[in-house]
């Protein structure tokens, strides 16, 4: 098994490449990739190195990047490797494709499972409404079998996501925080909200654009903001 520092070494060039790209939802390898990497071949190599960690996707000369995840300092990326690897192995399930699926899993989730991302972030911050239920389970195969036996189907549209337990869960808030950064997209806003509300519980601090932090501060429910003030003064 490759160590965390070994993995970072393997993706370091890819991370540097991704960090230099201006934010866009989709890039062209010929246009944007070559500009940074110098050649098409090198651009492909850089992008491919990020794929196993779920930090990039590519198809037919185009690619996308989890921009705010790759923009983190190396110590944060190293710390969030277990989150990245777990998310890469995530399996998504649905039955009714609405809240009923989530309620069913909350009622029947196996012990000892751990909820992370949307629902855990919501319970900790009340910042963004949750959408998907992400659950860490000890045995993902057994979890998947249980859901399938209960009428769930595996696919891309479901709202229940099983994750294998990889890495440490000792500091639960920090783990949820790192999961949020690793997941990218709107979970980045959850990460910022967690960092604002629980600064002492989070030892490894991510780096976020000023406008993202401002957006979270602005949209945070006022009663939560009042909690932030005494924490940060």
Partner 1 sequence: MHPLIREALKITEDLGPVTFVGAVAVFLHTVNTRESQDLDFAIAKPITREELLDKHYRFIVENGKEKTYTPRNYKIDIYSDRPLNKIPIKTIIETSKDFEVDKKGHKVNAMGLEALVLAKFRANRPSQDYPDLRALAVQRLKQIDWKLLEKLSGNKTEFDDLKNTLEYIAKQ
Q: Which residues bind partner 1 (CB under 8 A)?
A: 23-26, 57, 59, 62, 64, 67-68, 118, 127-131, 184-189, 211-212, 215-222, 225
CB of 146 to partner 1, least distance (A): 25
Look at the block and give the residue holding tokens 């009622």. 107
Task: Give yes or no for a contact between 15 and 51, defined as CB atoms under 8 angstroms apart.
Answer: no
First and final C-alpha spacing in the chain: 44
Q: Enter the tokens of residue 220.
A: 């945070």
Identity of the residue, 39 or 131, whose beta carbon is nearer to partner 1 in the bound complex: 131
State how far the Cα of 195 lies from the Cα of 96, in Å rounded to an integer.
Answer: 34
Residue 107 has a CB neighbour count (10 Å cut-off) of 7
The CB-of-9 to partner 1 minimum distance in angstroms stands at 26
Quote the longest CA-to-CA distance of the chain.
Answer: 53
Q: Which is nearer to partner 1, 10 or 205 (CB)?
A: 205
| CB nearer partner 1, residue 128 or residue 171 | 128
Smaller CB separation from partner 1, 18 or 85: 18
**Cβ-based nearer residue to partner 1, 3 or 222:** 222
What is the nearest approach in angstroms of partner 1 to the Cβ of residue 149?
A: 27
Measure the CA–CA gap between 65 and 102, rounded to whole angstroms: 29
200: phi then psi, degrees, rounded to nearest 5: -75, -25
Rounded Cα distance, 99 and 104, in Å: 9
Chain CA centroid to CA 43, Å: 24
Q: How far is the CB of 127 from partner 1 (least distance, A)?
A: 6
Q: Identify the helix (H) or strand (E) that includes residue 42.
A: helix 40-50
State the minimum distance, in angstroms, from the CB of residue 121 to partner 1: 9
In the bound state with partner 1, the residue whose beta carbon lies nearer, of 25 and 230, is 25
Q: How far is the CB of 185 from partner 1 (least distance, A)?
A: 4
45 and 17 Cβ atoms separated by less than 8 Å:
no
């Amino acid at each position: 098994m490759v160590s965390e520092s070994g993995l970072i070494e393997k993706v370091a060039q890819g991370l540097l490449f991704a960090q230099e790209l201006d934010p866009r939802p989709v890039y062209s390898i010929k246009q944007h990739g070559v500009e940074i990497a110098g050649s098409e071949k090198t651009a492909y190599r850089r992008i491919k190195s990020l794929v196993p960690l779920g930090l990039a996707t590519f198809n037919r000369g185009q690619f996308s990047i989890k921009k705010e995840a790759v923009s983190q300092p190396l110590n944060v990326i190293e710390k969030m490797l277990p989150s990245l690897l777990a998310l890469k192995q995530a399996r998504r399930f649905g039955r009714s494709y609405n809240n009923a699926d989530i309620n069913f899993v909350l009622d029947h989730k196996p012990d000892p499972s751990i909820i992370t991302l949307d629902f855990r972030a919501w319970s900790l911050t009340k910042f963004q409404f949750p959408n998907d239920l992400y659950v860490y389970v000890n045995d993902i195969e057994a979890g998947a079998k249980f859901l399938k036996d209960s009428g769930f189907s595996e696919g891309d549209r479901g709202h229940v996501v099983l994750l294998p337990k990889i890495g440490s869960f000792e500091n639960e808030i920090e783990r949820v925080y790192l999961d949020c950064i690793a997941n990218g997209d709107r979970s980045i806003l959850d990460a910022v909200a967690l960092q604002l509300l629980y600064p002492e519980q989070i030892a490894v601090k991510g780096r976020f654009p000023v406008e993202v932090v401002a957006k979270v501060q602005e949209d945070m429910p006022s009663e939560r903001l009042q909690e932030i003030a005494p924490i940060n003064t």
